[in-house]
Amino acid sequence: MKISELRIGDLCAKIPVIQGGMGVGVSLSNLAGAVASCGGVGIISTAQIGYRDPDFAKKPIECNLKAIGEEIAKARKIAKCGIIGVNIMVATKKYEEYVKAAVSAGVDLIISGAGLPMTLPELVGNEKTKIAPIVSSKKSLSVISKYWKKKYDRKPDLVVVEGPEAGGHLGFSKEDLETITKEVYDEEVKAIIELAEEMDTPVVVAGGVYDRSDMEHYLEMGAKGVQMATRFVTTEECDASYAYKQAYINAKKEDIVLVKSPVGMPGRAIHNEFLDRVASGERFMKGCRQCVSTCDPATTPYCITEALINAVEGNVKEGLLFCGSNAYRANKIETVAKIMEEFS
C-alpha cells in the first residue's frame, strides 16, 4: 500500500504518523524531536512537564509553564524542520495558561483531550498554531465542531480519534472498555471520518496502533494517518528511564489492566506492586502538585503526579505505568528511525 503524506493545513508530515503525547515525562523534547526529524509529528506532553525543576514541589504550575517553552525549543533543534506539537489535557489546572505558553513558544500543533476543548480556538486566536481535539465518538466531534463554528467561525485543523485500546486516561466507561470490540468501534471511527470529511478536516486514529498493518487498516477506512504512543516507549530516544522501558519489555498480555485513576477517569496500565497496594486500600496522598482540576486531594487515594514521576524516573515498583493495550508486544529497545522506516 502506498503511503501518502499527512497534511494539516499548511503543515506536511512525510510519514502520516503522530507520536502520541505521554506524561509525565515520557514524551518530551528528545522523543518528539526524533520523530519529527524522521518525517512524523512529534508531540510533547505538557502534563507536569516541569517535574525535573528544583522548584517543582513548591511552584509546579510556574515550573510547567517555563518548561513548555524550553522543551519546544529543544525539540526544534533536534527536529530541524519537522513538525512539533504538544498535548494539553483540558482537565489541566490553568489549562488556558498552558495553551498560551505553547502558542507563545511557536508550537506547530496543539492536541487537546481529557475533556472537550471548547475554548481552544479563542486561546490560540489568529496565531499559526494548528488545533486538534481528541474525540472518542461522533457525538463529541459534532458538539465541538458546531460550537467552534458558531462562536469562532473555526473548524478543527485535525481530529484525533482515540479508541478504547489506548493507554493512559481513557474517554470511555470501564464497562465500555471491557465490552467494546475493535469491529464495533470501527463503525464509530467510520462515522467520525464521514463527519470530518464534511468539514474537509483530516482524521488520525489512535488507540491500539502498533505496526504498519494497523495503520493501513485505518487508512483504508479513510483516515489520513495514525497516532501511536506505546510503540515509541521502547526506543533509545524516549525520554523515560531505562527501567520504565524495560517494564514494557517484561510485561505479559495478562499484566495489562484497567485501573481507576484518582482523577476520576479509567485508565490502562501495567500491573505492579503499587496497584496491589492501592487495591488493598492503602493511601499515599502527600500534598498536591496542582495537576488536574478533577482531583480532590482530601479523598484521592494517591497523588497521580507522584506515581507517574516515580515510574518515569525508574521506580517502577512504586509507580503508575500507563500503557496501551499492545505494550506486551515490546520485546526490544529500538530506534525511532527504524520504526518510522516501517511506516514509510
> In the chain, what are the domains?
6-240+331-343 (3.20.20.70), 242-329 (no CATH)
pLDDT above 80: residue 55: yes
Distance (Å, whole) CA 101 – CA 88: 11
How high is the pLDDT of residue 289? 58
pLDDT above 90: residue 137: yes
pLDDT in tens, 264-299: 788 999 999 999 998 888 766 566 655 555 556 666
Average pLDDT for the chain: 93
**Higher-confidence residue: 93 or 160?**
160
How high is the pLDDT of residue 174? 85
Q: What is the mean pLDDT of residues 45-54?
A: 96
pLDDT above 70: residue 330: yes
pLDDT above 90: residue 5: yes
175: confidence class by pLDDT, cuts 50, 70, 90: confident
305: confidence class by pLDDT, cuts 50, 70, 90: confident
pLDDT above 70: residue 20: yes
How high is the pLDDT of residue 290? 55
How high is the pLDDT of residue 178? 87
pLDDT in tens, 76-121: 999 989 999 999 999 888 999 999 999 999 999 999 998 899 999 9
Q: What is the mean pLDDT of residues 307-333?
A: 96
Measured CA distances, 136 to 94, 314, 342 (Å): 24, 31, 27
